[in-house]
């Protein structure tokens, strides 16, 4: 039988008992009500009638007056219609005859006196008969009440015991199997699959127990059948990891070391047995390399190993399960060969750039001499060629300068000469340097730099170079007869902001994140507007080397706003 049907039967049984108890109570209440009605209405009314007639008879022992006769007549009529007991009718009829005789012989006092006595006797007899009936009916009602009390008390007690047993036992009938099931599930969650439920009932709990037992049996079979394959896969993965030339360390969610390949063990200087199963934070207190791997956020690391300096790129991969991080894998890739090639490239660029500056300067000097009338007159075609050569030489000189600056940044040889200077000095130098260029394009540079601004701590030459680069780009990308806004203001309590706003065509949002990358050029720019793609990258390095920030804001059709911040002097 199902639990649902058991519940239905149990609740129906309780409901039936409650109905029986209520039915018995109603039955006996009706009986008591009927007995009380008989006593109060029938017998008690008769007693009242006889009492009224007796009082009328006693009021005039001699001759009955009309008032007494009327009272006796009314009550006698009522009594004749309220005969309920055996023998009461005969007594009432006799009383009627005596009363009729009395009315006829009212003038005969002697006969009337005898009739008075007979009527009193009859009235007493009727009253005594009803009094006996009242006593008898009272005894019968009392018996009914006692019987009802015992029966209702018995049924109520039985109902209480059944309900109490139901309340005590039924919750356990439901809760105990659930509690046992919960304990078994906890054991299964700990991979203890030797769990069985012994529910002997033939209901849903019995079916649940059978299903649970089947599940644990299958899980145990699955665990043992897959253990060998899991161990095989573990060995295969360990072999692959150990065969790699990169250092690999695996950590669980509590930062305990799960595995480390031979390369990682060699670099750290601890054998695999000394690493596996130990807490990485505790080991890092004794090992500098492991501490840097766990704490440092730098991706590029220089490590002294095998008697020489080597360069590594650190990658941290998170292992997740249902969006929950359950471990990490740290990989150190050896990039020494690429670093050496990059250093060689940087040195080559620096050498070539340095070597090119001398002949380019000589070319510019020769152009100055050719433009001098004392050397000789040149025709218009020759002058145009000289101007073209001068422009190309200027561009070559700018490119070599940018390459040299970039080489300094990449090699870490960037030298900054920090000093105290007013923002107006930086602005004046930059505006003067580009005055001719702006006039040629009829672009007005609108400067907003309050003289009351505090001094900044900066490298004057390199900061001026950055501002010149930003102004030069703004002029190139501005329309003729337009305005470029150069604004200097307090950005924060300890920072001053320099911004350059042009009103050109702007930069597409998808290119803003790459605008400061090396060699990046915004697509769609004309030949006159494009450069080497190094200017903004160098500007970013110069500003960040001074603990400042640089950024850009732009929208198509609204122009672009480049800005950078510098620290206030003494902050």
For the chain, give every domain's residue range.
3-173, 237-335, 339-408, 415-567
Q: What's the pLDDT score for residue 551?
A: 94
pLDDT in tens, 489-532: 998 888 999 999 999 889 988 888 889 988 788 876 665 555 66
Kindly report the number of other CB atoms within 10 A of residue 397's CB atom: 16
**How large is the average pLDDT for residues 34-46?**
67
Tell me the backbone φ, ψ of residue 534, rounded to 5 degrees: -110, -20
- Mutual angle of helices 44-59 and 66-80, in 10-degree steps: 160
Q: Where are the beta strands (DSSP E) in 140-256?
A: 247-252
**How large is the average pLDDT for residues 10-19?**
76
Confirm if 554 and 481 have CB atoms less than 8 A apart: no
Kindly report the number of other CB atoms within 10 A of residue 494's CB atom: 12
Q: What's the pLDDT score for residue 144?
A: 76
Cα Rg for the chain, rounded, in angstroms? 60
Q: Which of 257, 301, 314, 253 is nearest to 283 (CA)?
A: 257
Say whether 504 sits in a helix, a strand or coil.
coil
Taking the C-alpha atoms of residue 552 and residue 502, their distance in angstroms, rounded to an integer, is 12
pLDDT in tens, 434-454: 998 899 889 999 999 999 999
Kindly report the number of other CB atoms within 10 A of residue 239's CB atom: 10
**pLDDT higher at 247 or 175:** 247
| Distances 384 to 364, 378, 394 between C-alpha atoms, Å | 15, 10, 15
Q: What's the pLDDT score for residue 563?
A: 96
User: Of 121-135, 352-366, 411-425, where does mean pLDDT reach its minimum?
Assistant: 352-366
Q: In whole angstroms, what separates CA 541 from the centre of its chain?
A: 42
How is domain 339-408 classified at the architecture level of CATH?
Orthogonal Bundle (1.10)
181 — pLDDT class (breaks 50, 70, 90): confident
pLDDT above 80 (res 546): yes
- Full-model pTM: 0.41
Q: Which of 429, 514, 495, 427 is nearest to 457 (CA)?
A: 495
Domain 237-335 classification at class level:
alpha beta
How is domain 415-567 classified at the architecture level of CATH?
2-Layer Sandwich (3.30)
pLDDT above 90 (res 293): no
């Amino acid at each position: 039988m199902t639990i649902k049907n058991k519940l239905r039967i149990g609740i129906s049984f309780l409901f039936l008992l409650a109905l029986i108890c209520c039915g018995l109570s109603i039955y006996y209440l009706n009986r008591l009500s009927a007995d009380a009605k008989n006593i109060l209405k029938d017998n008690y009314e008769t007693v009242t009638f006889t009492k009224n007639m007796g009082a009328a008879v006693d009021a005039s022992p001699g001759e009955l007056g009309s008032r007494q006769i009327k009272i006796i007549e009314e009550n006698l009529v009522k009594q004749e219609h309220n005969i309920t007991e055996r023998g009461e009718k005969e007594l009432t009829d006799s009383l009627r005859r005596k009363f009729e005789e009395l009315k006829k012989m009212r003038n005969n006092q002697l006969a009337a006196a005898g009739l008075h006595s007979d009527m009193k006797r009859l009235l007493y007899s009727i009253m005594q008969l009803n009094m006996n009936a009242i006593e008898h009916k009272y005894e019968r009602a009392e018996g009914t009440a006692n019987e009802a009390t015992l029966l209702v008390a018995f049924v109520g007690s039985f109902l209480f015991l059944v309900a109490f047993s139901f309340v005590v036992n039924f919750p356990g009938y439901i809760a105990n199997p659930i509690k046992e099931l919960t304990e078994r599930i906890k054991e299964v969650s700990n991979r203890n699959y030797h769990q069985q439920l012994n529910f002997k009932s033939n209901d849903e709990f019995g079916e649940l127990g059978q299903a649970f037992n089947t599940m644990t049996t299958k899980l145990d079979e699955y665990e043992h059948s897959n253990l060998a394959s899991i161990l095989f896969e573990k060995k295969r993965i360990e072999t692959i990891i150990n065969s790699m030339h990169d250092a690999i360390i695996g950590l669980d969610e509590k930062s305990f070391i799960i595995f480390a390949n031979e390369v990682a063990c060699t670099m750290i200087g601890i054998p695999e047995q000394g690493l596996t199963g130990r807490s990485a934070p505790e080991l890092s207190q004794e090992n500098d390399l492991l501490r840097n791997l766990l704490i440092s956020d730098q991706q590029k690391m220089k490590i002294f190993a095998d008697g020489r300096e080597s360069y590594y790129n650190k990658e941290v991969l998170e292992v997740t399960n249902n969006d929950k991080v359950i471990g990490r894998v740290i990989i150190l890739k050896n990039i020494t060969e690429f670093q050496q090639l990059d250093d060689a490239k940087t040195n080559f660029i620096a050498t070539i750039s340095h070597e090119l500056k001398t002949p380019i300067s000589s070319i510019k000097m020769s152009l100055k001499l050719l433009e001098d009338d004392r050397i000789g007159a040149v025709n218009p075609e020759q002058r145009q060629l000289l101007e073209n050569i001068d422009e190309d030489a200027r561009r070559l000189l700018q490119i070599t300068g940018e390459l040299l600056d970039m080489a300094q940044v990449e090699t870490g040889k960037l030298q900054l000469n920090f000093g105290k200077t007013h923002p107006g000095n930086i602005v004046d130098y930059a505006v003067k340097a580009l005055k001719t260029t702006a006039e040629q394009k009829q672009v007005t540079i609108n400067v907003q730099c309050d003289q009351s601004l505090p001094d900044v701590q900066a490298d004057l030459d390199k900061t001026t170079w950055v501002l010149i680069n930003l102004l030069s780009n703004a002029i190139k990308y501005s329309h003729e007869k337009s305005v470029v806004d150069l604004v200097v203001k307090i950005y924060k309590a300890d920072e001053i902001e320099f911004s350059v706003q042009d009103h050109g065509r702007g930069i597409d949002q998808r290119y803003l994140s790459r605008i400061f990358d090396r060699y990046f050029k915004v697509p769609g720019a004309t030949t006159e507007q494009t450069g080497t793609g190094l200017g903004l990258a160098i500007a970013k390095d110069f500003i960040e080397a001074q603990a400042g920030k640089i950024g850009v804001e732009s929208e198509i059709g609204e122009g672009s706003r480049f800005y950078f911040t510098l620290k206030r002097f003494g902050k």
